[in-house]
Amino acid sequence: MIPQETVNRILDAAQIVDVVGDFVTLKKRGANHVACCPFHNEKTPSFSVSASKGIFKCFGCGKSGTAVGFVMEHENMSYTEALKYLAKKYHIEVVEKEESAEDIAQRQRNESLLLVSEYAGKFFQESLQTPEGQAIAWQYFKSRGLEDETIRKYGLGWAPIGRKALAEAARAAGYKEEFLIETGLCIKYDDGRLADRFHDRVIFPIHSANGRVIAFGGRTLKTDKTVAKYVNSPETEIYVKSKSLYGIYFAKNEISRQDKCILVEGYLDVLSMHQLGIRNVVASSGTSLTVEQIRLIRRFTSNITIIYDGDSAGIKAALRGIGLVLKEGMNVKIVLLPEGQDPDDFARRHTLEEVQDHIAQNEQDFIGFKTDLLLGEAGNDPLKRASLINDVADTIALIPDAVVRAVYVRTCSDKFDIDEQILTDRVSRSRTDMLLAEQKERERARQREAAQAYPLPQATAGQDVPPPPSEEDFGPDAGGYDNVMPEMPVDIRVEGVVITEPYLAPCEKELLGFILEEGCTPLEFDRDSKYYIEGETLNVAEFIDGTLADDEEDFVNPSYRKVYDEYFALYDEGLTQQQIQTRLLNSMDQEVAAVARDLLIEKHQLTVKNYEQSLTAASTRLVMYVPKTLLTYQCKKVELILKQLTSELSKEQDMDAQIAIMTKIGDYNRARTRLNNELGRV
């Protein structure tokens, strides 16, 4: 772990223009530098770098961030890897904190497994060059149309016929038997014999996103049907099949550049398409697509095109994948190939232009795909058509973004000539059912965890055993869990009243924006202002924090509250505004960094507010807008409280309780009048 003081030195040393300039040719334009974006194709520069703010932004594809973020994005590095890269560039020594004995042991163990896997990869490659390998494996690869460069690049190899070839070579090279077994490269029998898992097979190494060899797939060339066609590495500490994609290391840069990932099923599908010139292609390696694999792709793009075989198995696989991709908030297109052909066959039989044209002309969104697939079966049967429409609507319900859902509802309405409101109602019901089911599953998981943490007492003679906990014991009234569904308002109790986050979020965002952008700027109020204090000048951050503290208010939105707290923690350390901005933009907490990017990186959109700001001095603008935003925020909270109290009054039967509620309503009405009058004066 890199100590925070070292992280701070790296962040302070890293100059955005210097770092980006190592990868992109920048040209000075006014106060900024510009270039053609390295993350997508363009002819007119829309990529801007601000030296003063220490940030970059592309106004074409929307990517933005700091020097660390650029290195992470461009080189597909983790946060720690990017910091080490910059430390090396600026000659800063990184001495990581002392790890615990368990941490060291686990890290060393993982590294040992990786080293053994990489040794095996080299062994298989070298075995390919032997007479046996040339006669069998090399001829097979050539028969599949693979070129020497493709074979070398992907590290394809040959596992010798002998059942102990790798085991003996690895032990002779000093690799421990336990790691050969743990990686699944070798199998130890009860009698103590050690044998190779992979023998007499062509080998396809599987790489991590960082390029380390983590596993292998071995294909037999025998026609004997009693022999398994493929043998794969078992899951280990370095290889989890559901989290790995074949070819991701070689495709990730092209996926980012094209902002699109092509997903196929098998090793040879990837190899043939990559060799043809389609480099943004990965495979799920013969397994059903998983959520973890989709999230791995999402690190590089939000767009997936699935290309599966045109047979029934390929169609079923595509249907399974659609829902998973949509549920993760990504965009999915489907391309089916002519029946009897897989991507490997299709790539070898066509030119690059023909394959690209086929993809472009045959890509379908899930509505078109399902319609073409199922409409033929439905024919003129109204019930079957209704079933198809409901199926499409249920698929739309999986999409987390409400705007995207609305767009697809309209598309579906036009396609099937059905009332949009009917579809909207169906989607809404399906989504509610889905969220409730997910919530119920979370509740069950929490109950299981609680049962494990607090096991029921065992019965003894003469004792009654308390009944097992029911759902009510862990329900919202028991306070046992946070009863909040995804996309539903987050509720917080203030003065015993529920405050709903979405209503307040715009004000909180505005206030946090003032703090992050101008927190250390003094607020110079006129002498006749109610906020003027003789002999004392507060800056923006102090004014907002003091006002909220006086009213005992906290931000309701958890993300904004987290950034707010982090800002003042850094402020209390005595950091300058620019240093605080740099720390927040480069925070290891991705939630904090994302909010900071959203609020600090200019979007260069000409709005009425921006136009007003351009005509108003910064100090005057802050004196006008900061108090006004605070008052608006307080007004909104009071209005929500009044709404809740009114609702409670309508349900309350007890006279004394009604009087108490009406007293509160009177107090809050007076507060609202006072705030509105003050807001009008401001």
**Residues 64 and 74: beta-carbon distance below 8 Å:** no
Helical H runs in 192-311?
A: 248-258, 267-276, 291-298
Helices and strands, counts by H and E, the chain: 28, 17
At residue 235, the pLDDT reads: 92
Average pLDDT rounded to a whole number, residues 256-264 = 88
* Span of 130-144, 342-356, 479-493 with lowest mean pLDDT: 479-493
Residue 489 has pLDDT above 60, yes or no: no
Average pLDDT rounded to a whole number, residues 578-595 = 86
Report the SS3 class of residue 246.
strand
Residue 464 has pLDDT above 50, yes or no: no
Residue 163 has pLDDT above 60, yes or no: yes
Residue 297 has pLDDT above 90, yes or no: no
- Residue 186 to residue 198: CA distance in whole angstroms: 8
First to last CA, the chain: 50
Report the SS3 class of residue 102.
helix
At residue 576, the pLDDT reads: 83
Q: Regarding predicted confidence, which is higher, 565 or 620? A: 565
Q: Sorting pLDDT into bands at 50, 70 and 90, what band is 310?
A: low
At residue 482, the pLDDT reads: 33
**Residues 331 and 304: beta-carbon distance below 8 Å:** yes
Spatial neighbors of 93 by CB under 8 A, at least 6 apart, are 87
Q: Sorting pLDDT into bands at 50, 70 and 90, what band is 609?
A: very low
State CA 67 to chain mean position distance.
20
Give the per-residue SS3 of 387-419.
HHHHHHHHHHCCCCCHHHHHHHHHHHHHHHCCC
Please, how many CA atoms are within 13 Å of residue 100, restricted to the half-sphere of its CB? 3
Q: What is the mean pLDDT of the chain?
A: 82
Which range of 294-303, 306-315, 347-356 scores highest in mean pLDDT? It is 347-356
Query: Quick one: CA torsion of 11, 12, 15, 16, rounded to 10 degrees?
Result: 40
Q: Sorting pLDDT into bands at 50, 70 and 90, what band is 610?
A: very low
| Domain at 4-89: CATH architecture | Alpha-Beta Complex (3.90)
Cα dist. 306→249, 309, 310, 317, 354 in Å?
Answer: 19, 10, 12, 10, 18
Average pLDDT rounded to a whole number, residues 436-456 = 67
At residue 552, the pLDDT reads: 63
Average pLDDT rounded to a whole number, residues 232-239 = 92
- With b meaning 16 or more CB within 10 Å and e meaning fewer, what string describes 494-515? eeebebbbeebbebbbbbbbbb
Q: Where are the domains of the chain?
A: 4-89, 101-239, 251-416, 491-681
At residue 46, the pLDDT reads: 87
Spatial neighbors of 394 by CB under 8 A, at least 6 apart, are 426, 427, 430
Query: At the topology level of CATH, where does 251-416 sit?
Result: Dna Topoisomerase Vi A Subunit; Chain: A, domain 2 (3.40.1360)
Report the SS3 class of residue 659.
helix
AA identity, residue 371:
T
State CA 283 to chain mean position distance.
20
pLDDT tens string 377-433: 666 778 888 888 888 888 899 988 888 889 989 988 888 888 989 989 998 888 888
Report the SS3 class of residue 213.
strand
> Which of 123, 231, 265 is CA-nearest to residue 180?
123
At residue 487, the pLDDT reads: 33
Q: Sign of dihedral through CA atoms 146, 149, 155, 160?
A: positive
Residue 499 has pLDDT above 60, yes or no: no
Q: Sorting pLDDT into bands at 50, 70 and 90, what band is 166?
A: very high
At residue 551, the pLDDT reads: 63
> Which of 242, 240, 286, 241 is CA-nearest to residue 263?
286
Residue 492 has pLDDT above 50, yes or no: no
Query: In 481-623, where do the E strands start and end?
Result: 491-494, 497-500
Q: Is 20 left (phi over 0), alpha (psi -120 to 50) or beta?
A: alpha
Residue 604 has pLDDT above 70, yes or no: no
Query: At the topology level of CATH, where does 101-239 sit?
Result: DNA primase DNAg catalytic core, N-terminal domain (3.90.980)
**Residues 259 and 61: beta-carbon distance below 8 Å:** yes
At residue 354, the pLDDT reads: 93
Report the SS3 class of residue 460.
coil
> Which of 51, 35, 33, 53 is CA-nearest to residue 43?
35
Residue 465 has pLDDT above 50, yes or no: no
Residue 605 phi, psi dihedral angles, 5° rounding: -105, 130
Dmax (CA) of the chain: 97
pLDDT tens string 94-125: 877 666 777 778 878 888 999 999 999 999 99
**Angle at which helices 558-572 and 577-585 pack, to 10 degrees?**
140
**Residues 176 and 112: beta-carbon distance below 8 Å:** yes
* Span of 245-249, 614-618, 642-646 with lowest mean pLDDT: 614-618
Percent residues over pLDDT 70 in the chain: 85
Average pLDDT rounded to a whole number, residues 24-32 = 83
Helical H runs in 328-475?
A: 343-349, 352-362, 366-378, 382-396, 402-416, 420-453
**Residues 74 and 95: beta-carbon distance below 8 Å:** no
The two structure tokens encoding residue 108? 């060393």
β-strand pairing of 281-283 with 261-264: parallel
At residue 182, the pLDDT reads: 93
- With b meaning 16 or more CB within 10 Å and e meaning fewer, what string describes 353-387? eebeebbeeebbebbebbbebbeeebeeeeeebee
DSSP code of residue 176: -
Q: Return contacts of 449-458, CB within 8 angstroms, 24+ apart.
A: 450/474, 450/480
- Residue 366 to residue 320: CA distance in whole angstroms: 11
Average pLDDT rounded to a whole number, residues 604-608 = 34
Which residue is associated with the tokens 């065992």?
458
* pTM summary value: 0.57
pLDDT tens string 524-545: 888 777 777 777 778 888 888 8
The burial of 243, by beta-carbon neighbours within 10 Å (0-12 exposed, 13-18 middle, 19 or more buried), is given as middle
> Which of 401, 398, 408 is CA-nearest to residue 437?
398
Spatial neighbors of 642 by CB under 8 A, at least 6 apart, are 665, 668, 669, 672
Residue 306 phi, psi dihedral angles, 5° rounding: -95, 125
